[in-house]
Structures are given as C-alpha cells and as structure tokens.
Amino acid sequence: MREEELEVALKVVIVGDGGVGKSSMIQRYCRGTFTRDYKKTIGVDFLERQIEIDGEEVRLMLWDTAGQEEFDAITKAYYRGAHACVLAFSTTDRDSFLALHSWKLKVENECGEIPTIIVQNKIDLMDQCVVGPDEAELVARALGCRLMRASVKEDVNVGAVFRALAARCLADLRREHAAEITAPTIPPVIGTFTNHNSNGTILLRPVKHRPGGKKRNVLKNACRIL
C-alpha cells in the first residue's frame, strides 16, 4: 500500500459522570440519532466514523465509557492507547462539573497528557444551568483544556468537537513526522571507554587497530566497565 493510501486512525475516549450525554454524543455523531431515554452504559461501548481533515482521511474510533464508579476497574483499561479525550459534563448537573479534575486524572494515569476538550453538554437547558460561564472557563484553563459548549439534543457543536480533536491530533502527528525528517543523523562513535576524567565524564577515544591484528571487541570492553 502506498503512503498516500494510508489512513490515520485515532482512538478517542469520552469520559465523565453518568447521565451527562456521552452515549448520546457519539450516537448523534456517528449515526445521526438521538433518544431522550437514558440507558446506563455497562462498561464501554464503541462506534467509529471516518472523516476528512485537510485532505487527510481520518478514522475516529470513539470509546464511550461508563461514568459510574463500579465500572472503574473495567473502563480504565480502555483508556490505554487513546490519542485524544472528550471530557463531558452537564449544564444541569453541578456534580459532573466538579468531577472534571478527577476524570482528567484517571485518563492521565493511563495515557499521560493527550489532547483533551471539555464539553459542556445540554446548553439547550441553559434556563436550568447550575454552572457559571466564568467558572467553566476557569476550570478549563486550570486543566489546560479547550472548552466547547454543545447540545446533543439539538445537534449543536457535536461534530465540531470531534473535528477539533482530530485536527489537533493530525497537526501533532505532522509536526512529529517533520521533526523526524529534519533531525540530523549523528553517526555512531566507535571507540573504547577510558577512565573517568576529573569531572566524572566518561571519555571516548578512537579505536586503533594494530597492524595485522584483530579489532578490539568494543562491546565487551563497554560491558566490563558497566
């Protein structure tokens, strides 16, 4: 397969308290459907969608995780290997907002720092809002994340959330690829270890071959010192 035929596959985990709309979010994005009935996710669910970003084919693998503590042992294993994260809370559930820091730590413990967007869902219910706009912005800055507001019910900004994450990941991949190409290739230094100098640095000196003799075993000499 030629390089231009390869696609980028990104694993995205959607985390947050139960009932904030995680399952509805990926159902809306991948299938274009929405249901008012709440059904608790047992463990994890998985959907995917292929999109195009800047002429690049990107396959998003979206992992919907349960928000209840009893499923922590199951769901945290599915965080591993994720390239990006959606951290969701509900406009009408202050506890889900207060839990954002805890959810971010759970993902970081398994994945390290990955691109993350905080999504305030259910903005169609702003008349019942229990989270001030300023404090939401403040928490997002404290956690180092972008904040986006969405309504899964009205299909507002749902697609924009995943496209923004995909674009961020794609830009990071391109930067890493460019760095690998432009990085200078440093030829290996062949030599034997000598004694430490006065400042504790190990010195290397070129290998000198004896006329008609065999090459010294550099690896053996190095191992002996270590």
- Residue indicated by tokens 């986006």: 148
CB atoms within 10 A of CB 203: 11
Mean pLDDT value of segment 93-119: 95
> Looking at residue 67, what is its pLDDT?
54
Q: Which amino acid is at 95?
A: D
Q: Dump pLDDT digits (tens) for 129-187.
A: 999 999 999 999 999 999 999 999 999 999 999 999 999 999 998 888 788 777 666 66
Q: Dump pLDDT digits (tens) for 26-79.
A: 999 999 998 776 565 555 678 999 999 988 899 999 998 765 555 566 667 788
- The pair of structure tokens assigned to 57 is 């084919």
Residue 52 bridge partners (DSSP): 57
Please tell me which residue, 127 or 220, carries the higher pLDDT value: 127
- Domain topology for 8-177: Rossmann fold (3.40.50)
Closest residue by Cα to residue 13 from 74, 84, 68: 84
Give the residue extent of every domain in the chain: 8-177
Please tell me which residue, 184 or 219, carries the higher pLDDT value: 184
The pTM of this model reads: 0.74
Q: Which amino acid is at 130?
A: V
Distance set, CA 54 to CA 105, 167, 174, 177 (Å): 32, 8, 12, 16
